[in-house]
Amino acid sequence: MRATIISTLVVAAFSAGICAFSLSLIDHVSSEIDVMRAEVVALADDGRVEEARLRLKQTAEMWLRHERQLAVLVSHETLHEITGLIVEGDANLTAGDLDDFTRSMALLGEAIGRLGRDERLTLSNLL
Amino acid sequence: MPTIFIRAVLLYFILMLSMRGMGKRQLGQFQPYEFVMAMLIANLIATPMSNVSTPLLHGVLPVAALYIVHALITLLCLRSDRLRAFISGKPSLIISKGVVRQEELKRLCLTLSDLLEGLRGAGYLDPAEVGTAVMEANGVITAFPRSDRRPVSVGEMSMDAGYEGMPMTLIMDGRLQQHNLQCARLDKTWLESKLAGRSLCVEDVFLCSIDTQGRMTIQDRGGNLSQFQALDAKEVGW
């Protein structure tokens, strides 16, 4: 019985650790990326396209760094969607197509929000 | 991640309550909570195994959740009879004093065919021979003969049958079972001398065992069987 209690406590501690790490990492990454996305959009809206491109490049680099960690925790489809939207936004900005760029950034905002929302411990997620 | 964890716990309880609701017929040989565990784990592991887009933790974490709930239920059942009765159910007496209890059969949704099948499984072709039958919490029917139909026991005949315990396997497929030999307080030289008496060596023996009456049974690789008194029953030390 003692072995069962100990192994249960170990598994519970492991699970709690994974849950806490996952929540904290996803929350941290999604809020950080979203702030950078908002900055890119603001720069583009001000007509500072080159600065917006530079910031988007930094956003992409930051995202790729975290993507490897997130791949252990989150479904890969969501991660690929976010990567695709960053690449799409960059291509639109380079082509000077601001309407499509705005659309890509809006979709990126939604995808990042969903990443955090899907992991949050809410009744709607549970049910 | 916590969502996946809690969802696994919720599904465990939902499935367990469903299994309890369905009754003992569905269980076979598991307790309800063991059956739920077996059903869920297979499915949980299958998704991350077959889909590389799903992180392995999406399979591991729900399994950890089930492990924790299962261990907690097991521990709580050890402490509380009421909880055990609620989770696993209670045995039901379906034949008492040789009479089939129809009300109990109805309550368990058990037909007479099911009962007869269960009794045959328990070794009774004729239900008239059964004095008591119980449907256990895991769905298995156990049956006991009427007292006037059961064989006479050695004790009733005032005979001394001696001690009957676990026979020790000494050689399996030509390999000496050193641990069993030690448990039986015997040694290799003694065994080899017994085998030599039958023109055999350890490698020639397919199976060799000795029972608590001191009788040794040897089957060689040719399929020849021999049984002889290798030890005095009083010398048996296990």
Residue B25 has pLDDT above 60, yes or no: no
* B14 at interface of A, judged by CB pairs closer than 8 A: no
Q: Could you give the percent of chain B with pLDDT greater than 70?
A: 93
User: Is residue B22 predicted with pLDDT exceeding 70?
Assistant: no
Mutate to test the interface with B, among A5, A9, A11, A15 (most CBs of B within 10 A): A15
Residues 72-111 of A with CB under 8 A from B: 72-77
Write the residue in B55, B75, B78 that is nearest to A74 by C-beta: B55
How many Cα atoms sit within 13 Å of B65 on the Cβ side?
24
Is the Cβ pair B75, A75 closer than 8 Å? no
Would you say residue B8 has pLDDT above 80? no
| pLDDT of res. B144 | 95
Q: Is the pTM of this model over 0.80?
A: no
Residue numbers in B near A15 (CB within 8 A):
5, 61, 64-65, 68
Please tell me if residue A123 touches chain B, with a CB cutoff of 8 Å.
no
Contact between B137 and B34 under an 8 Å Cβ cutoff? The reply is no
User: A63-76 burial, b for 16+ CB within 10 Å, e for fewer?
Assistant: beebbeebeebbbe
pLDDT in tens, A96-107: 888 899 999 999
pLDDT at B191: 94
A24: closest chain B residue by CA: B1
Where b means 16+ CB within 10 Å and e means fewer, B20-36 reads beebbeebeebbbbbbb
Average pLDDT of span A4-23: 91
Mean pLDDT of B186-200: 92
- pLDDT-above-70 percentage for chain A: 100
Mean pLDDT of A23-27: 91
Q: Is 60 exceeded by the pLDDT of residue B27? A: no
Q: Say if B46 is an interface residue toward chain A (CB within 8 Å).
A: no
Q: What is the mean pLDDT of residues B141-154?
A: 90
